Amino acid sequence: MTERKRLLQLALPAMAENILQMLMGMVDTYLVAQISLITVSGVSVANNILTIYQAVFIALGASAASLIAKSLGQKDSRQTERLIWDTLVMTLVLSGILGIFSILCGRWLLALLGTELTVSQTGGLYLAIVGGGIGFLGLMTTLGSILRAKGKPNLSMKVSLIANILNAIISALAVFVFHWGMVGVAAATVFSRLVGCLILWRALALDVKSVTLTRPFNKDLCSLVLPAAGERLMMRAGDVVIVAIIVRFGTEVVAGNAIGETLTQFNYMPGMGVATATVISIAHSLGSGDFQTTQRLAREAYWLSLWMMLPIGLLTFAFGGGLTHLYTDNSGAVAASMVVLLYSFIGTPVTAGTLVYTAVWQGLGQAKLPFYATTFGMWVIRIFLGYILGISFNLGLAGVWIATVVDNLFRTIFLYIRYKLFFKNDLFQS
């Protein structure tokens, strides 16, 4: 099997699953947009917090998939079973902490970001409901990652499809028939994820009576999860600060930026799918000791990601005006959305590089380097430069997105250079 086929076999179902997950958020955004601009602004800000949670679970799932794939490559079934249970326990602990935080501190956190009172109240309630049930998203992410690592990527994709259909139906009924508003949309999201968890759990067929855990904790898993989760956390926490900058431009710009980001999520889906496949494929080849295949996989992953992302980004930008009008007719919000679509397309080559080479390092079991790169890129380049360009130089939302492209350019170059040096020196000296 060629490297491209191997990547596509894992990437296409992962891509479809990511698209379906994003569709759930897109459906929620569309439905709450029918209620009011304040509601869509509150939900969009709350979703930036929820995206941080999701990023942590994605990092956990990717790290676990990497270690599981490596143990499968080494044909160590006992270690594989132990890793699965360790990951599930870690998911439940994280879910509990994040859920309690969402319920108790959600409204306060949104107010801290500088949103208007009505926006923080609406978003805080949405965060309490969806964030309170975040454990179902966490389990769906973890169980899906385990299935992909075990060579069953299609199953997780099918469950995501079921959950999305269920969410769309119940959310639409909640808004248009029962008039439950934003609360009904949030409750539908939590319920559909619960159903998805139950199906995935049953499909994985784990025997609870034979639980094997690493005591006091799995050091290998933590050494990979913590920097990987830290990388995602720095990224998403930085996004929240970026939103705090965008809030200064007004509610219309906040709403337009949220709509634009909702639409451009489809641009990133191929890259995210290939990144998921890259982590698993590289970890498996590394476990088998096939270093030449590892290098070919990394090279193929970048070009595959880029050529899949470019046409989607172009289509999204070309039809962006019409798509944005599905959410709102507000001229300020539409203009802001088009700014997001433009710079998302321009930055496609470096976004693909950031996604793929972050995944390469995680597959190699070296998650600290992407953490350092993201922390510096986000908090020194993107936030600082975004503030300077957006506010000091009066470029507004365009300034923030120029800084985003520059950040991704830095991280792509840095991670690629270190990757070349790793295979030239570090790997063969270890």
Q: What is the mean pLDDT of each run of 10 residues along the chain (430 residues)?
A: 79 79 71 77 81 83 84 77 88 93 86 77 90 93 88 83 88 87 89 93 79 77 83 80 90 89 86 89 78 84 94 94 88 94 96 94 87 93 94 94 96 94 63
Residue 103 placed within a domain: yes
Residue 430 placed within a domain: no
One-letter-per-residue 3-state SS of the chain: CCHHHHHHHHHHHHHHHHHHHHHHHHHHHHHHHCCCHHHHHHHHHHHHHHHHHHHHHHHHHHHHHHHHHHHHHCCCHHHHHHHHHHHHHHHHHHHHHHHHHHHHHHHHHHHHCCCCHHHHHHHHHHHHHHHHCHHHHHHHHHHHHHHHHCCCHHHHHHHHHHHHHHHHHHHHHHHHHCCCHHHHHHHHHHHHHHHHHHHHHHHHCCCHHHCCCCCCCCHHHHHHHHHHHHHHHHHHHHHHHHHHHHHHHCHHHHHHHHHHHHHHHHHHHHHHHHHHHHHHHHHHHHHCCCHHHHHHHHHHHHHHHHHHHHHHHHHHHHCHHHHHCCCCCCHHHHHHHHHHHHHHHHCHHHHHHHHHHHHHHHHCCCCHHHHHHHHHHHHHHHHHHHHHHHHHCCCCHHHHHHHHHHHHHHHHHHHHHHHHHHHHHHHHHC
Residue 206 placed within a domain: yes
User: In the prediction, which pLDDT does 1 show?
Assistant: 56
Residue 409 placed within a domain: yes
User: In the prediction, which pLDDT does 430 show?
Assistant: 46
| Domain membership of residue 363 as a residue range | 3-425
pLDDT of 171-227, one tens digit each? Answer: 889 888 888 888 898 999 999 999 999 999 988 877 777 777 777 778 878 888 888
User: In the prediction, which pLDDT does 99 show?
Assistant: 94
Residue 367 placed within a domain: yes
d(CA 313, CA 45): 24
- CA angle, residues 217, 55, 401, in degrees to nearest 5: 145
User: In the prediction, which pLDDT does 425 show?
Assistant: 67
Residue 17 placed within a domain: yes
Q: Kindly report the length of the chain.
A: 430
Residue 162 placed within a domain: yes
Number of domains in the chain: 1
Residue 211 placed within a domain: yes
User: In the prediction, which pLDDT does 426 show?
Assistant: 55
